[in-house]
Structure 1
Amino acid sequence: MITVTQSLCLVVVCVAVAEALPAKRETRAGPPAFSRRRRVEEDYELFWTLPRLMALKKRFQMFLDPNDDCKATFDEAKSFLQKYSPDVSEAKIRKFMERRDTNGDGVLEFVPEYIVHMSLPDYTIEGATEWFDLEDSNHDGVVSRAELLRIAQNVGLGEEEAAQTVDGYYMDADMNGDNVLDWEEYKKLYNL
């Protein structure tokens, strides 16, 4: 049973997110099926249920907001990104924050910035480049299956779930079967 307070919070979140939506831009549909179909923001029916918002909040806290203040600081983002690449540069962390910090206050707020970011997947060359650079943790110019498995486990997936995620999504783009994704193969994940 949803309480009155939860219902009001849901309405406030939905209004804040709707007001924060950027102007129309081309995006790509994302999960749950990792569809590669092009979409335009106005085609999205942004729909948040309380369970969906609670799941996003849990994910935000787990990855970016360990002190649960609904804001991710530079240091919190750094801690998260080091799970991808232990030697991630401060410049990459700043760029990661700037791409998501729509109001320019130096922090990533759960409402509306994180919710908007998670609702409108970033299947752009900038998004692909950002994640390729982070997932290429040994900086050899390719993203290996081993790197992806380590990252998946670092962010909290069990061994079996990590293997399913890596093999079922990422390695599907490994056209030559060498267990590494070069840039051209990786871009296919973003339909680029």
Structure 2
Amino acid sequence: MDDPKADLHRYLQTARDAMLWKLEGLSEYDLRRPMTPTGTNLLGLVKHLIGCEIGYFGATFGRPFGRELPWLSETEPNADMWARPDESSAEIVALYRQACAHADATIDALALDAVGHIPAWDGGTEVTLHRILVHMTAETHRHAGHADIVRELVDGAAGLRRDHGNLPDAGEQWWADYRDRLERVARESLP
């Protein structure tokens, strides 16, 4: 039987699982390593999603998380996009799991048409749980895509899940040749 809330929740959980898989087996350095000019790093992406989960599924619906997170009140830009030296990856991952569990409790407790309020959106916006589920699914999948690219840059691991790469089953040489071919095509397209 169709259950729209369960469908949305399942897609959100798939993205959450992908985020956590992208962290597995890496050193503290590789988890924190800025891999883009804007500093995108794996642990920072997860830290950012902690704030999203507790904000959108917590405060929006009057269900506070019950723990203050210092980076959410800091005035430093991007304070939620990287982990300080005193914040371990284990702590960040555990907090993400707690934030997701708190969000799941909200999802389980409320109907899709339950109304919440987000003061920061357009001077104060009423939203439904349905809209927040769609928003957070898109947000988490967006950052899972970032994490996929960052992880590939760190150590070459790529794909949808550990047990399902969702990529052609080809060896390293095939991928090197493929990339070289794409580079040639790109150069040939130059005017």
Superposed pair shares fold, TM > 0.5: no
Structure index of larger Rg: 2
TM-score, with length taken from structure 2: 0.30
